[in-house]
Structure 1
Amino acid sequence: MFGHLSISVAFLLIVGASPVKADNHGKCVMYGQCKQTPRGALPCTNSDPARTLQDPKALQILKDLCPDLYAGGNTKTCCDANQLESMNKNIGLIKQIFSRCPSCLHNFMNMFCQMTCSPTQSTFLKVTSNDSRSVRSLDYVISRDFTYGMFNSCRNVKLPSAGDKALSVVCGRSAKYCTPESLLNYLGSTSNGNTPFDISFTISNKNVTIGKEVYHPMNETTSRCLDTCSKTDCGVPKLPEPLPCPGGSCFKGHIRPIYRQEQVVITRPKNHTVVKHFLPPPSNDIVNYTSLFDKEFLHLLVDFQDMIKKLSVKYENQLIRLEDICYRPTGQACAEISVLEYWQNNHTAIDKIKMGDFGFFTIANYLDHLTKCSSYPQAYDGTLNISCVSTSNQTIYPNMVFAGYGGENEVEYYNNTIAFVTTFLVQNYQDDRMNAVARAWEAGFREFVETFPKTNMTASVHTPTF
């Protein structure tokens, strides 16, 4: 893991500088190196204004490693030439780990660039303890947008030499279980054996009060993975996992799709209600969701989709329901791809909630579960005791069920999604004559959706054309 590779976080505390912003008059909270420790050098406490970096070699190092922070001969920093020299000697392994994705490397480095050398350190950093003049612990207020933008740009970067993802090396745990919060917690803790002093990160998009001082989150713009990296290292949009062909029969002769996709797209264009989600303590952040994520609306969708599944259509003197024609990848449950599968289409699961001691605050509810599942679709939510996997044992990737999401820095929170997409899979036969029953049900399905009352939502339907 991280410690075994002897990566010193100390070198990350000595990177580039940021040009002074016209509307920001902060100053330094540390400058230079005061004391050497086995984990690296401790910076010195300092409350002076930033100094102009004049050393030509230091400026070149800064330009090479943090080019977007380089401001030519007018570069003011809260770090000195010795720190930049040390960084240049120790940067090799981090470059090796993240070299496959320059955007990830830049974002990862920039988090420490700003902490170490920003001329306005005092606006987002607070030294909380020191030994003589040496910094021993630090509070770092960092925006949620930057944190998630940085994390998302790195989350799928591969490390071929280790046969794993790069985050497994720097998160203190497998990349599968790494989150933005756990990544920062690990990087900032001296218990990792490499960080010279403790860094306590506060992740917030709002100003934070520490003691009597108000701090503004560090919120530099992040580079998106796809801007500079391969699709492999950015995580190409996932399609439904390959589903088996029963007995291999569908691969004999002319190949046709093994299932038909019956889709419903749900929107609420006339409902602009904001669903406010208060994140669990110790965070005091609020995340706003679109009206699609209203809990009562999710309950309505469960009922709506149940009606579709119970819909009976007459075909040759018999009534056909979805269960009669659906694709069953495991031979049991019908395959359904829906956001509701994160709760297994269950009203009780949606209503589950975990309260803190004495019932004073909420630890987790349906939106916390949604966040976990959209980040780790194969996970089991131990807090609420609900799996993220569907009733047909399929992985529901968020890009399959959310549409119209995104935003600044492409933070993958999906909270501003404007449409849900539900897909029912129906068996498709190589002998097209056997698909007549499916087409009959599809006609009834289209009619049902198109005539469904538009009081609380708008639903559009998409069925196969073959």
Structure 2
Amino acid sequence: MAESCGKFLQRFLPVLGCVLLINLVNHIPLASAEGQCIWYGVCTNKTDFKQRYCPYNGPAKPIDEGGRTILEKYCPDIAAGGLTCCNADQLRILEKNIANAGMLLRCPTCMENFLKHICGMTCAPDQSNFLKPVKIEPYPGGAESRQIITEIDYHLGATYMNTTYTSCSQVQMPSTNQVVMDIMCGSYGSTFCTPQRWFDFMGDAEVPLVPFQINYKSGDEPSDGFIPYNPETHPCNVGSKGQPGCSCFDCAASCPAPPTPPPPPRPFSIHGAIRLQMSSTQIMS
């Protein structure tokens, strides 16, 4: 009897183990399956120069009606979903930050591409798929106990970073006879700027206009449990929704192709030169 029970258990336990494992996997919450917020609201005083957000680890919330107009203007794709991880105060800060990048408006396609990563970082309903709070600190400016996020990792698609940079790299600043990357890429200037260097500069908290440290992690494949944010972009010579692309002045791809050069003149052959000499001799004689 004991021997029969032993054989039964040897056959049954592996099957039972597989069933339990499958059920366990199905009930483990995965960040990549259904992301949520990492922040919501502003936890610094309005008088602070750098505004920072409140940690919030929960589901996205319905659009704050006080900021709906801003969200629909700059982040229509997110607004269409009806849920966000940003309130009206954050959206007003977003609008102010966008104004600081107004030099990109000369090329609407560049600006549209650029905005997508700002919108995703600030308001996307599945932030936890690609954003990781690295530092959360107590806010020293208030009597009540509150915390602020002071550093994040942003897993951003390499394809997005490269195409956005390419669409913006030739945008001009006629008032200074420069391109925008001379200003927006820090000490590298336009000559030594690259997509990664551009984004790194925009995420450097040492820059006065950057509110907190943003570590841009470039890549198109999932890494460390995060799925890179990789929104659709357009080349600078292609406008969105039937609009024209950027001008030739700001986008070389928009310039007309140069005319085909004429064929070079046919050179004289040695035979032709000899015949010409013979003809001249005959004329002189």
Tell me by how many angstroms 1:93 deviates: 3.6
Tell me by how many angstroms 1:162 deviates: 2.2
Which residue is equivalent to 1:114? 120
Is the 1:39–1:195 contact (alpha carbons within 8 Å) kept by the matching residues of 2?
A: no
The partner residue of 2:85 within 73, 78, 83 is 78
Superposition map of 1:149-164 within 5 A: 149-164=163-178
Amino acid in the other structure paired with 1:87: L
Give the match's secondary structure for 1:236.
helix
Distance 1:106 1:43, change over 3 A: same
* Whole-angstrom distance in 2 between the partners of 1:222 and 1:235: 17
Which residue is equivalent to 2:234? 223
Which residue is equivalent to 2:274? none
Superposition map of 1:31-70 within 5 A: 31-36=40-45, 39-55=49-65, 57-70=66-79
The partner residue of 2:155 within 136, 141, 160 is 141
* Whole-angstrom distance in 2 between the partners of 1:89 and 1:199: 18
The partner residue of 2:251 within 212, 215, 234 is 234
Is the 1:24–1:120 contact (alpha carbons within 8 Å) kept by the matching residues of 2?
A: no
* Whole-angstrom distance in 2 between the partners of 1:237 and 1:105: 16
Tell me by how many angstroms 1:62 deviates: 1.2
97-106 vs 62-71, greater mean Cα deviation: 62-71
**Greater helix share, 1 or 2?**
2
* Whole-angstrom distance in 2 between the partners of 1:231 and 1:238: 5
- TM-score scaled by length of structure 1: 0.44
* Whole-angstrom distance in 2 between the partners of 1:32 and 1:138: 16
Tell me by how many angstroms 1:200 deviates: 0.7
* Whole-angstrom distance in 2 between the partners of 1:233 and 1:199: 28
Give the match's secondary structure for 1:35.
coil
* Whole-angstrom distance in 2 between the partners of 1:185 and 1:43: 20
Tell me by how many angstroms 1:433 deviates: 3.9
Superposition map of 1:64-463 within 5 A: 64-71=73-80, 75-95=82-102, 97-132=103-138, 133-172=147-186, 173-209=188-224, 214-227=225-238, 228-236=245-253, 257=262, 428-429=264-265, 432-434=266-268, 436=269
* Whole-angstrom distance in 1 between the partners of 2:106 and 2:59: 37
* Whole-angstrom distance in 1 between the partners of 2:133 and 2:176: 37
> Which structure ranks higher in relative contact order (CA pairs < 8 Å, sequence separation ≥ 6)?
2
Amino acid in the other structure paired with 1:91: I
Which residue is equivalent to 1:5? none
165-174 vs 108-117, greater mean Cα deviation: 165-174
Over the matched positions of the two proteins, sequence identity in percent amounts to 30
Q: Deviations over 1:244-267 (max 9, x none)?
A: xxxxxxxxxxxx85xx6xxxxxxx
Tell me by how many angstroms 1:180 deviates: 0.2
Q: Deviations over 1:33-53 (max 9, x none)?
A: 112585520111110101001
**Greater strand share, 1 or 2?**
1
Give the match's secondary structure for 1:156.
coil
Amino acid in the other structure paired with 2:95: N
Give the match's secondary structure for 1:31.
strand
Give the match's secondary structure for 1:129.
strand
Tell me by how many angstroms 1:121 deviates: 0.4
Give the match's secondary structure for 2:41.
strand
* Whole-angstrom distance in 1 between the partners of 2:69 and 2:136: 31
Distance 1:169 1:24, change over 3 A: farther
Q: Deviations over 1:361-413 (max 9, x none)?
A: xxxxxxxxxxxxxxxxxxxxxxxxxxxxxxxxxxxxxxxxxxxxxxxxxxxxx
* Whole-angstrom distance in 2 between the partners of 1:139 and 1:66: 21
Give the match's secondary structure for 1:149.
helix
* Whole-angstrom distance in 2 between the partners of 1:204 and 1:99: 27
Is the 2:173–2:180 contact (alpha carbons within 8 Å) kept by the matching residues of 1?
A: yes
Give the match's secondary structure for 2:106.
coil
Which residue is equivalent to 2:280? none
Q: Deviations over 1:253-290 (max 9, x none)?
A: xxx85xx6xxxxxxxxxxxxxxxxxxxxxxxxxxxxxx
Q: Deviations over 1:327-385 (max 9, x none)?
A: xxxxxxxxxxxxxxxxxxxxxxxxxxxxxxxxxxxxxxxxxxxxxxxxxxxxxxxxxxx
- TM-score scaled by length of structure 2: 0.70
Amino acid in the other structure paired with 1:185: D
* Whole-angstrom distance in 1 between the partners of 2:193 and 2:255: 20
* Whole-angstrom distance in 2 between the partners of 1:238 and 1:94: 25
Tell me by how many angstroms 1:24 deviates: 4.8
Give the match's secondary structure for 1:162.
coil
* Whole-angstrom distance in 1 between the partners of 2:113 and 2:210: 19
Cα-Cα RMSD:
2.6
Distance 1:90 1:148, change over 3 A: closer
